[in-house]
Amino acid sequence: MHTCLLKNARVIDPSQGIDRTADILVEAGKIKRIGEIGTEAERVIDASGLIAAPGLVDMHVHLRDPGQTQKEDILSGCSAAAAGGVTSLLAMPNTSPTVDSGETVRYILQKAQAAKARVYVAASITKGLKSEELCNLQELRDAGAIALTDDGRPVVNTGFMARAMALAPALSMKVVAHCEDLYLADGGIINEGEVSQKLGVKGIPAAAEDAGTAREIALAAAYGVPIHICHVSTAASVALIRDAKRRGVMVTAETAPHYFAFTQDALLKRDADYRMNPPLRTQCDREAVIEGLLDGTLDAIATDHAPHTPHDKADFEKAPNGSIGMETSLSAALTFLVHTGRLKLGEVIDKMSCAPARILGIDAGTLKTGAPADIVLFDPEERYTVDIAKLHGKSKNTPFKGMELKGKVKTTICGGIVVYEDK
């Protein structure tokens, strides 16, 4: 029986209210015990000076598989995940073909069996993400999908969105919403405002996101069903979600590291790696996102990991939206939230591990006895510079390139197996 022992770590597990120095014994892929433990194990890891936390759960990832594997595939994406301390992830459905059939769900889950992280599948709400025909949700659930979304696009047909939200709870599926009014967005590529005017490019008004957020909250309130709001980037959307929670609406929400790390000013260099959807916003929006994380309005931090090739990103105005993020997400959260004094370590771990697991209803985000031994070991003080040549995924389009970050993943364990070591 395979055993592994982590010695002298500072164990932080918000799911149990644990924050103390202790050892962790792993046996047969499960957490056996946390406490003061001897040294008898097949492998002993000296974790002195390191934080041991539940493996991160990234609930918003684009693996590009099937159909766009030149950008990323399931195995390469999970290697990137492991390097960032991510042991569970939710794969989005805007692949080619779209994840709108049981066959495609099964393909992803089968391929993921050889991966370095646990892959959960979000299937699409409408066929081909076209908002013209509702998918067979029961078929998708039977095949193994746990969530529903047309992410990359909103569900334009409000009736389809309402029906999916109404049906999902009985299927134990989470509906995940990309909030955007496409008529307001109208083909814009960055935030509408001072920077878009300076660059002479078409902008996306914040109202496009806010209108979408308001619609999904209204549906959740009207029908008494849950909704999860993706990649929140505006002050108004944060306020809408805060008010909805106060009113008892069953809404949860996530943001991404680039929204609390950068503003639209980063786009002045005309580098398409800083273009994503929703776009980088104003300093006011950035502060509102951080406040939303601080007061619990925003439940989770996810990456919206969106790989693209250098060729894809070569032209600032024609490039597709998206940036990669799994390898830098924890470091970015430590740098911009913990080391600035805005959030505590335990709060960040909760938003990157425990809360996403709770929202998705998966067996993750905890170091409880008997739980899967998914663990991240990291040094919160180690500084490093993000070198795209050393990243583990196929694509290198990170907005954090060349930046010094404070906090580094040292070891990642998934199912009791060491899947990443910083060397």
3-state secondary structure the chain: CCEEEEEEEEEEECCCCEEEEEEEEEECCEEEEEECCCCCCCEEEECCCCEEEECEEEEEECCCCCCCCCCCCHHHHHHHHHHCCEEEEEECCCCCCCCCCHHHHHHHHHHHCCCCCEEEEEECCEHHHCCCCECCHHHHHHHCCCEECCCCCCCCCHHHHHHHHHHHHHHCCEEEECCCCHHHHCCCCEECCHHHHHHCCCEECHHHHHHHHHHHHHHHHHHCCCEEECCCCCHHHHHHHHHHHHCCCCEEEEECHHHHHCCHHHHHHCCHHHCCCCCCCCHHHHHHHHHHHHHCCCCEECCCECCCCCCCCCCCCCCCCCECCCCCHHHHHHHHHHCCCCCCHHHHHHHHHHHHHHHHCCCCCCCCCCCECCEEEEEEEEEEECCHHHCCCCCCCCCCCCCEEEEEEEEEEECCEEEEECC
Select which of 13, 304, 350, 374 is catalytic.
304
Task: State yes or no: is 304 an active-site residue.
Answer: yes
Which residues form the catalytic set? Answer: 304
